Amino acid sequence: MRRKVAILGATGTVGQRFIQILRGHPWFEITVLAASERSAGKKYREACRWRLETDMPNEIGEMTVVNTRVKEVKEAADVDLVFSALPGSVAGPVEEEFAAEYPVVSKASAHRMDADIPLIIPEVNPEHLGIIPVQKKNRGWNGFISTDPNCSTIQLAITLKALMGFGVKQLIVSTMQALSGAGYPGVPSLDIIDNVIPYIPNEEEKMESETRKILGTFNGNSIQPANMTISASCNRVDVKDGHLEAVYVELENKPTIEEVKEAFRSFVGEPQRLNLPSAPEKPIIVREENDRPQPRFDRNAGKGMSVVVGRVRSDPIMTVKYLCLGHNTIRGAAGAGVLSAELMVAKGIL
């Protein structure tokens, strides 16, 4: 039996990706679409400005959007699981209300750094799901909240996990982030055409703190952040989808460049071992060309779930430097949420 899911923020950039990815999913079935009061009561096709290249599924277009309240979701249909693609500013209390009754897999930032809430990348830290029973006990909830990291953090953390065996001491990352990362309508066209904006509010702090939590250690009761220094510099560029990041890492051991590439190429995690439906065969793809990865050519690698790494070379100040690219609304958002939920099903948490 497929698990019934509600999507909160269903009309937004990430909500639309959730619909696209969940349609026809072997384990999940969309039963409720929720959004703001502006959309509630309307047919989805009237409430949503659909921005994906694939057509809006007909049966989804005909569904009536409900308000983002537990009572209204409950009245609309049975739900086993809630995906939240709410704005961070709204998600905090709303997700807590839902978690009292339902498991919530969230793309929003509101609870990512809460001590008893996991921040999951299925290939990187599946063991952090072990904190869910602690959370349920602390909060007295029947459900729980599990969060997914910020889009720019996910692709970075996947590449760092592959390097952990060499001892990651510190790193610098500079991002070139796509427009869809800002939601819809996002950055005004007259601000971004022919331009780069060297500031994304709170993004650098998120990359630095989230990465340490994800790469940290779960001791059965709490998550101890990884002991590494991270410096992030985030930029918005005139690209539709796909974040590109230049990464400079100091490693304790001094591997050769071929050893670093092999660590990327051979990296797999729980999703691959468990053969989860959304798991890419290769979480990291290494390109050898001098001019790859590029957003237009590489963002859909592994159906948007692979991180593409290129220009792996030694660095005169740190140890190694490389570029990495990930699809921000798939691997960085809805695809990440679906893969997390699949992991929870496989582990008997859902």
Ligand X SMILES: NC(=O)c1ccc[n+]([C@@H]2O[C@H](COP(=O)([O-])OP(=O)(O)OC[C@H]3O[C@@H](n4cnc5c(N)ncnc54)[C@H](OP(=O)(O)O)[C@@H]3O)[C@@H](O)[C@H]2O)c1
Mind telling me the catalytic residues? 151, 243
- Tell me if 305 contacts ligand X by CB under 6 A: no
- Tell me if 338 contacts ligand X by CB under 6 A: no
- Contact set for ligand X, span 218-277 (CB under 6 A): none
Beta strands in the chain (DSSP E): 3-8, 28-35, 66-67, 81-84, 103-106, 144-147, 168-177, 217-218, 223-224, 229-236, 243-251, 284-286, 307-314, 320-326
Q: Considering the complex, what minimum distance in angstroms separates the CB of residue 39 from ligand X?
A: 3
Please give the order of strands across the beta sheet that includes 168-177.
229-236, 168-177, 243-251, 320-326, 307-314, 284-286
For residue 329, give Cα distances in angstroms to 50, 130, 223, 257, 302: 14, 27, 27, 30, 14
Query: Which DSSP letter does residue 331 get?
Result: I
Interface pick for ligand X out of 25, 57, 114, 184 (rule CB under 6 A): 184
Determine the residue type at 64: T
The whole-angstrom separation of Cα 124 and Cα 269 is 7
- Tell me if 60 contacts ligand X by CB under 6 A: no
- Report yes or no: 126 and 177 within 8 Å, Cβ to Cβ: no
* Tokens found for residue 313: 């070379």
Terminal Cα-to-Cα distance of the chain (whole angstroms):
13
Among 231-239, 266-274, 299-307, 329-337, the segment contacting ligand X (CB under 6 A): 329-337
CB-based closest residue to ligand X: 12
* Tokens found for residue 47: 């409430």
Interface pick for ligand X out of 5, 11, 323, 350 (rule CB under 6 A): 11
For residue 160, give Cα distances in angstroms to 15, 131, 247, 284: 28, 22, 10, 11
Q: Considering the complex, what minimum distance in angstroms separates the CB of residue 330 from ligand X?
A: 9
* Tokens found for residue 175: 């991002």
The size of the interface with ligand X (CB under 6 A), counted in residues, is 30
The whole-angstrom separation of Cα 68 and Cα 70 is 7
- Tell me if 333 contacts ligand X by CB under 6 A: yes
- Tell me if 61 contacts ligand X by CB under 6 A: no
- Tell me if 211 contacts ligand X by CB under 6 A: no
- Tell me if 146 contacts ligand X by CB under 6 A: no
Among 30-38, 131-139, 289-297, 309-317, the segment contacting ligand X (CB under 6 A): 30-38
- Tell me if 183 contacts ligand X by CB under 6 A: yes
Interface pick for ligand X out of 25, 36, 238, 292 (rule CB under 6 A): 36
- Tell me if 151 contacts ligand X by CB under 6 A: yes
Interface pick for ligand X out of 31, 278, 328, 340 (rule CB under 6 A): 328
Interface pick for ligand X out of 70, 77, 90, 113 (rule CB under 6 A): 90
- Tell me if 14 contacts ligand X by CB under 6 A: yes
**What values do phi and psi take at 153, rounded to 5?**
-75, -40
Q: Considering the complex, what minimum distance in angstroms separates the CB of residue 215 from ligand X?
A: 19
Interface pick for ligand X out of 19, 35, 76, 312 (rule CB under 6 A): 35
Measured from the CB atom, the residue of 242 and 302 that comes closer to ligand X is: 242
Measured from the CB atom, the residue of 58 and 89 that comes closer to ligand X is: 89
Q: Considering the complex, what minimum distance in angstroms separates the CB of residue 48 from ligand X?
A: 7
The DSSP result for 184-232, as a single string, is SS-S-HHHHTT--B---TTHHHHHHHHHHHHTSEE-SS-EEPP--EEEE
- Tell me if 284 contacts ligand X by CB under 6 A: no
Interface pick for ligand X out of 12, 126, 293, 335 (rule CB under 6 A): 12
- Helix 13-22 with 335-346: angle, nearest 10 deg: 50
The residues that touch ligand X, with contacts defined as CB under 6 A, are 9-15, 35-36, 38-39, 68, 85-88, 90, 107-109, 150-151, 180-181, 183-184, 328-329, 332-333
